[in-house]
Structure 1
Amino acid sequence: MIHRPARPLLLLSFAAMPLAHAQEVKPTPASPEACVAITSNAARLSCYDQALSRRVADPQAADAAAKTASENQKQQLDTAIPQDAGLAERTRQHTATLFKNDLYDATIANAGKGSLLDSRWELAKDSKLGTFQLRAYKPVYLLPAFWTSKKNETPSSPNPNDTVTSPESLDSIEAKFQLSFKTKIVENIFGDNGDLWGAYTQSSRWQVYNSEQSRPFRETNYEPELALVFRNNYSLFGWKGRMTGIQLTHQSNGRSDPFSRSWNRAILNVGLDRENWALVLRPWYRIPENERQDNNPDIEDYMGRGDATLTYNRGGHEISLMARHSLRSGDRSHGALQLDWGFPISNLLRGHVQVFDGYGESMIDYNHRATYVGLGVSLLEWY
């Protein structure tokens, strides 16, 4: 078989170009009229902001204004509810404010404007940029050096059809790259709240230094997603609850037996942030498959039933720590930790460090434990 390794690198470069282009530093326009001809909504809005010398939104000020407006709204609501209203009616009236539909009150709808999660998901009313704007989702990077402490040369599964019997000849050092983007498909499904996003992530592990095996791609994972995202506004232990989302995710490696691995999940996405921090909690439910066709029936015991990602963003540095676990005890207790650090080098070029320890660095390695360390570059920030 003839391998053509150059094409994926070209794909990575071209796919990242439109995303990186959005981050280019442009000169301040002489007047707002200079922005009229710009076709991209996001770029045109940025141009107007520069022309009018607008400051970056202050999430704390937006939260304070929203809190005042919310208190006034609550007083009006308490006055409007009859004294003899039953518990069910009072509960319905008050819980209706969790997923807000604030066409009448832009102040409340703009709570958290400029926060980390708002910049990532366009949550505030005035942060929305319309549909089909291509945006970064998960980190986009190229790691020419990706080392593992333990190679998985005989991938296995409880399904006998998905167990490799002849060992592969693998190197401990390979290359890894990831592409990830999202776009809003429908905006403001419920008044001025509720956006439907589509996302796609692809990551590849390439045995580029393994000349004896013709430099094969060891593993590529594909992950399309749909996410329905709602803006929230509540406080919890000093954190601000910004969003709740429901995701449908398919993840697979697109291979045939005995290497085939896949699963489908319904994911609850809860996002909170404060100052330079963001915390995303994601419990999920695996959608059942036919028992005979299930390539990895015990995948939840290794790649988990939920994860939490804590991100710190300041001065161009982005550091995230992901932790996931099977939420089971005994011999079913497994999990993983992953650290990503993106840092500026010069202009648009960024460095990227990744450290992973645990089970499931990729789909083929879902029940294989190892430590991985990667070093490379990234073309854009993901927050």
Structure 2
Amino acid sequence: MSHRQVRPLLLLSIAAVPLAHAQEVLPTPASPEACVAISSDAARLACYDQALSRRTADPQAADAAAQAASERQKQKLDATLPEDAGVAERARQRAAAIFKEDRYDSTIANAGKGSLLDSRWELAKDSKLGTFQLRAYKPVYLLPAFWTSKKNELPSSPNPANTVTTAEPLDSVEAKFQLSFKTKIVENIFGDNGDLWGGYTQSSRWQVYNAEQSRPFRETNYEPELMLVFRNNYSLFGWKGRMTGIQLTHQSNGRSDPLSRSWNRAMLNIGLDRDNWALVLRPWYRIPESRKQDNNPDIEDYMGRGDATLIYNRNGHEVALMARHSLRGGDRSHGAVQLDWGFPISNLLRGHVQVFDGYGESMIDYNHRATYVGVGISLLEWF
């Protein structure tokens, strides 16, 4: 690799460092001296807790305490109802108890404190850090080597206005990077529950080694989101249901025809965890567009109608497996799987490996099937 090829990647790496600090990356290993330099109050406190070996909350103990408090609350509620109260009245009274003020059920409101999903979404009452603080969302990484088994030099769509007729010479190896963050806009909308978050994710595929074509950015995807997240506390086959979210998502590549691709979705976000595992289920509905204006009318049959992400985090290693599908049969049956592995290289550096197979690695490739393998460094993982 020549010096001219390396220079753009070095600049990209340097530019990504401030974002990592903005998203509350703690020194590894944490030390009181290193914590002083952190500007965010919440992140600085977390750094001191880590440096001084303060034990985080035990989610199992928090769950047990919440369960006991729920049983006591149920017994009190049943005692206030007349013996001849019907099923509908009992259900109404219990539903009314869901959004009681904090002072009545703080133990219940702290269910799952310290769990994986709580650490990212501030679900428990005592985990909340207030509004408009920059928080980590999806993984942040830089992959200087991102190889594909099949280049998409003629992107197409059922809409003739979005079909390319002149091939663009592409390299099989490019660079890929992703930036992602979120912030809480409103906290505790319904009693002690219900937070409104705004999120943003951007991923780019850069033909940095393609000197003949002036190293163009082949594809950049922009994804702003608005999410209403509720804390849950239920058990399902050994998993604990931690959160349910309702969200609106826009995703596009910001390009003009024939390369323009976009869609808008309404999603249900269901999060469960257990010990070092987390599972996120996201079924969605595409908000319709007029046939004439739709850049990609069949995108649901390729990029799916829902996805599931399973994450395992232990001893500095994190493995995430994402699977999605069109939920249709026959010629409309398409999907994709993606495996991400983040691992420690040293105290200050983490590696990242990504493998993708299927349709829709990016918006421009929504109906293009290929295998991709990327290797690089990680600034932030899911947890």
TM-score scaled by structure 2? Answer: 0.92
1:13 matched to 2:52: no
Quote the residue 1:156 is aligned against.
156
Quote the residue 1:314 is aligned against.
314
CA distance in 1, matches of 2:362, 2:309: 18
Quote the residue 1:337 is aligned against.
337
CA distance in 2, matches of 1:206, 1:97: 53
Quote the residue 1:254 is aligned against.
254
1:92 matched to 2:92: yes
1:181 matched to 2:185: no
Superposed CA deviations along residues 314-361 of structure 1, whole A, max 9, x for unmatched, are 011111100101111111111100011111111231100000011100
Paired residue type of 1:331: D
Paired residue type of 1:58: D
CA distance in 1, matches of 2:14, 2:357: 30
Shift of 1:97: 5.7
Paired residue type of 1:161: A
Quote the residue 1:141 is aligned against.
141
CA distance in 2, matches of 1:65, 1:285: 37
CA distance in 2, matches of 1:116, 1:84: 43
Q: Is the 8 A contact 2:252 2:261 kept in 1?
A: yes
Over 3 Å counting, the alpha-carbon distance change for 1:74 and 1:352 in structure 2 is same
Quote the residue 1:271 is aligned against.
271
Deviates more, 1:317-326 or 1:75-84: 75-84
Percent same amino acid at aligned positions? Answer: 81
Shift of 1:109: 0.7
CA RMSD between the two structures: 2.3
The alignment partner of 2:126 has SS state of helix
Over 3 Å counting, the alpha-carbon distance change for 1:15 and 1:309 in structure 2 is same
Superposed CA deviations along residues 36-79 of structure 1, whole A, max 9, x for unmatched, are x9863313532664698631111111111111111111111112
Paired residue type of 1:15: L
Shift of 1:368: 0.5
CA distance in 2, matches of 1:361, 1:10: 26
Over 3 Å counting, the alpha-carbon distance change for 1:316 and 1:48 in structure 2 is closer
Over 3 Å counting, the alpha-carbon distance change for 1:133 and 1:70 in structure 2 is same
Runs of 5+ unmatched residues, structure 2: 1-6
CA distance in 1, matches of 2:80, 2:303: 49
Paired residue type of 1:13: V
Q: Is the 8 A contact 1:103 1:191 kept in 2?
A: no
Over 3 Å counting, the alpha-carbon distance change for 1:52 and 1:178 in structure 2 is closer
CA distance in 2, matches of 1:298, 1:98: 41
CA distance in 2, matches of 1:322, 1:129: 29
CA distance in 2, matches of 1:201, 1:99: 32
Paired residue type of 2:315: G
Shift of 1:231: 0.4
Q: How many residues align?
A: 375
Quote the residue 2:113 is aligned against.
113
Quote the residue 1:71 is aligned against.
71
Q: Is the 8 A contact 1:159 1:297 kept in 2?
A: yes
1:60 matched to 2:64: no
CA distance in 1, matches of 2:213, 2:370: 22
Runs of 5+ unmatched residues, structure 1: none
Shift of 1:242: 0.3
Shift of 1:84: 2.6
Q: Is the 8 A contact 1:102 1:108 kept in 2?
A: no
Shift of 1:91: 2.1
Over 3 Å counting, the alpha-carbon distance change for 1:158 and 1:45 in structure 2 is same
Quote the residue 1:370 is aligned against.
370
Quote the residue 2:215 is aligned against.
215
Q: Is the 8 A contact 1:99 1:230 kept in 2?
A: no
Paired residue type of 1:120: R
Superposed CA deviations along residues 89-129 of structure 1, whole A, max 9, x for unmatched, are 22223345667764412111111110000001010011111
